[in-house]
Amino acid sequence: MKKHILLYLGLFYLGQTVTAQNIWSLKECIAYGRANSFEASEIKILNASYKEDRKSIRASYLPQYNLVANGAFTANNNTVAWNPNAGLEVNALLYSGFRKKNELQKADLIIAQSQYNIAIAENNVEMQVLYAYTEALTKKGQYQVCIDFYEKTRQLYDECSASKLLSPADGYFFEVLLQQDCQEIESLEQQYSIALLKIRQTINLYDAPDFEIAEIPSFTPGHTTLDMAYPLALLADPGISSNQLDIDIARESSRIAKTLLLPSINLRYTPYYELHKSGLQHYAGLQISLPVFNRTVQKTAIEKATIQGLFQEKQLDNQKEMLWNAVVLIISELKNRQSLYEISLTTLKKSTRLLNDSEEKLKNKNTYPEAYLVVRNWNKQCALDSVALKYQTITQAKLLDFYTGTTL
């Protein structure tokens, strides 16, 4: 069993040396994930279509030229004649209120909103990477804790065995303990591998078999008070900006709907040839259109746009409230995790001293292996908890920076 364990540990350290050639920092993972986000790439394609929609709106208000061909039968004095004609038709909208201006402004707002939607998609990737990254670091740290405890216990077992301090039952007790350590190490190794895979899948990185991550350096969040953090979060959140543009788009839709109740004036000019006549014929005229009866469609469009605007305003208020709650929770969680982490470090130091005393007593035959096991398990759990709390604290601190607009 010892040979198996030593081989296992040797492969682990060898693997650490090899994978160190392709170490990714949190910033690099986030940058790659933002650049390769499926959702963001889809919105970018939509953005291109919105720009084409704007071109279409502008073109629809330019004079329209059409080649036309008509034919008709005419009856006169018992004579039926076929009168074909062909020509060029020109139609131009001269007046429609401010519909063109409003439609172009609405198109500009939709294009601007799509940029914020791209930022929302990229921010979603950023948060997913942060959670996956700190989860992986947690597993990596706990993995190393178990390695250290295994090595220390194995060294103690070898010393006690060499000094003939252990009975056969005690020796079996230590072998079972070391075997349990091996199983826990193997489990954490698998969990760490899965966590790395999760990061790679989140950022859409597939061709990186030697992918490894770096430690997050110690840092202090830039803004830790609510009165400073929340205003910055309002400015930094692309979802808030996108919702504000939804309100502006609804207002433009209402203005466009109101222009449907105004008169529109069209100019039509058609030069054409009639085969049974000589020379070029001309037609020119103005068409004035004004809805008089059955204006339900236009009024319904106005009401619908107004209701949509009220809905977007309520949604914006709710989103601001949710953002407030999120910032409050993050700041509270950050303080809580910092306090728990400091307590865990203090407890870890005390339990480590007790473990050292217990080891010395075991070497001097002043205690039993069972008593040593109790102290060892407590110390080991304290070490595992401190690793988890360390990265939970880092996660909350990074989240606070993220919400207040600091690039992770």
- 282 domain residue, yes or no: no
pLDDT attached to residue 20 = 47
pLDDT attached to residue 270 = 77
**Rounded-to-integer distance, Cα 24 and Cα 3, Å:** 33
Q: What is the mean pLDDT of the chain?
A: 86
Higher pLDDT, 113 or 71: 113
Whether 146 and 184 have beta carbons less than 8 Å apart is answered as: yes
Q: Angle at Cα 377 formed by Cα 358 and Cα 383, nearest 5°?
A: 100
- 278 domain residue, yes or no: no
**Greatest C-alpha distance within the chain:** 136
**Rounded-to-integer distance, Cα 50 and Cα 216, Å:** 40
Residue identified by tokens 């597939």 is 206
Q: Angle at Cα 172 formed by Cα 167 and Cα 173, nearest 5°?
A: 95
Would the pLDDT of 2 be above 70? no
Query: What is the sign, positive or negative, of the torsion defined by CA atoms of 9, 14, 17, 20?
Result: negative
The domain of 381 spans 2-62+95-263+295-403
**Rounded-to-integer distance, Cα 9 and Cα 383, Å:** 20
Whether 212 and 23 have beta carbons less than 8 Å apart is answered as: yes
Would the pLDDT of 372 be above 80? yes
- 76 domain residue, yes or no: no
Q: Angle at Cα 102 formed by Cα 98 and Cα 266, nearest 5°?
A: 40
Model confidence pLDDT, tens digit, residues 199-226: 999 999 988 778 999 999 877 888 889 9
Model confidence pLDDT, tens digit, residues 39-72: 999 999 999 999 999 999 998 888 888 887 776 6
Would the pLDDT of 323 be above 90? yes
- 88 domain residue, yes or no: no
- 269 domain residue, yes or no: no
- 84 domain residue, yes or no: no
Lowest mean pLDDT, pick from 84-93, 120-129, 379-388: 84-93
What CATH code is carried by the domain that includes residue 308? 1.20.1600.10
Q: Angle at Cα 139 formed by Cα 38 and Cα 342, nearest 5°?
A: 115
- 275 domain residue, yes or no: no
- Count structural domains, the chain: 1
Determine what percent of the chain is predicted with pLDDT higher than 70.
Answer: 89
Model confidence pLDDT, tens digit, residues 185-201: 999 999 999 999 999 99
pLDDT attached to residue 366 = 81
Q: What is the dihedral of CA 93, 98, 104, 109, to 10 degrees?
A: -160
**Rounded-to-integer distance, Cα 192 and Cα 186, Å:** 10
- 185 domain residue, yes or no: yes
pTM attached to this predicted model: 0.82
pLDDT band at 321 (very low <50, low <70, confident <90, very high): very high
Instruction: Tell me the mean pLDDT in the region 315-338.
Output: 95
Contacting residues for 403 by C-beta, under 8 A, at least 6 apart: 229, 232, 233, 236, 237, 323, 326, 327, 330
